[in-house]
Structure 1
Amino acid sequence: MKAEILHIDDCPSWEEAGRRLRVALDATGHQVTVITYTLVASSAAAAQVPFAGSPTILIDGTDLFPSAGRTNDLACRVYMTPEGLAGRPTQGQLQEALASHG
């Protein structure tokens, strides 16, 4: 399994998203999976990857939380969580999405 977080420099959520993803990977039996962090520094770079805002969490190259579409804007992403809108998914959402991923 390949895990990657696409992020922009100014996003305050990508580091915590990475910590939560690490815990979720460990909890779902993927302890050896390394998380790669990719800085999306330009609109041109965003156009080359499946970027849906920062942080975009990819598993095997696919957005773990598919949304309406991609963006070339260097913007933060908003996730719908049980607590309302947030800059990153909850720990439970990550674990559930990973378990469903296969």
Structure 2
Amino acid sequence: MKVELLHIAGCPNTGIAEANARAALDALGLGAVPVELVTIGTEAEAANTGFGGSPTILVDGIDLFPTTLVHSLACRVYVAENGFAGAPAATQIDEALRDRMQGGESDR
């Protein structure tokens, strides 16, 4: 499994997303799987990587939280339990990873 966290430079939510992804992977017994940070610096990179805004978590090249957003250098907002957040919670990542590992895609 390859986990990439795509982000723009200076994104205040990168650290939160990385910590939450790490916690979710660890909870699933996937502690050996690294979370690779990938800085997206141009519109071309955004378009070519499936970047849905900063931060975007890709698992094996597929957005863990699919979006229809235009791929450009922008912030991303996630639906959270109490409104919106700049990064998904560890529990959301855990659920999405479990779903991906089982071969499905639940409504997120």
TM-score category (smaller protein) = over 0.9
Residue 58 of structure 1 aligns to a residue whose secondary structure is strand
Gaps spanning 5+ residues in structure 2: where?
Answer: 102-108
Amino acid at match of 2:40: V
Query: Using the alignment, how far apart are the partners of 1:55 and 1:69 within structure 2?
Result: 13
Query: Using the alignment, how far apart are the partners of 2:32 and 2:70 within structure 1?
Result: 29
TM-score, normalisation: structure 2:
0.89
1:26-79 deviation per Cα after TM superposition (whole angstroms, max 9, x unaligned): 10121110111100011121111010000000011100001124412x111000
- Superposed CA RMSD in Å reads 1.0
Aligned to 1:41: 41
Query: Using the alignment, how far apart are the partners of 2:46 and 2:35 within structure 1?
Result: 19
TM-score, normalisation: structure 1:
0.94
Query: What does 1:5-84 align with in structure 2 at a 5 Å threshold?
Result: 5-72=5-72, 74-84=73-83
Shift of 1:10: 2.6
Query: Using the alignment, how far apart are the partners of 2:6 and 2:26 within structure 1?
Result: 20
Gaps spanning 5+ residues in structure 1: where?
Answer: none
Count the aligned residue pairs.
Answer: 101
C-alpha contact 1:50 1:70 (8 A) present in aligned 2: no
Aligned to 1:94: 93
Higher RCO (CA < 8 A, seq sep 6+):
1
Query: Using the alignment, how far apart are the partners of 1:39 and 1:24 within structure 2?
Result: 22
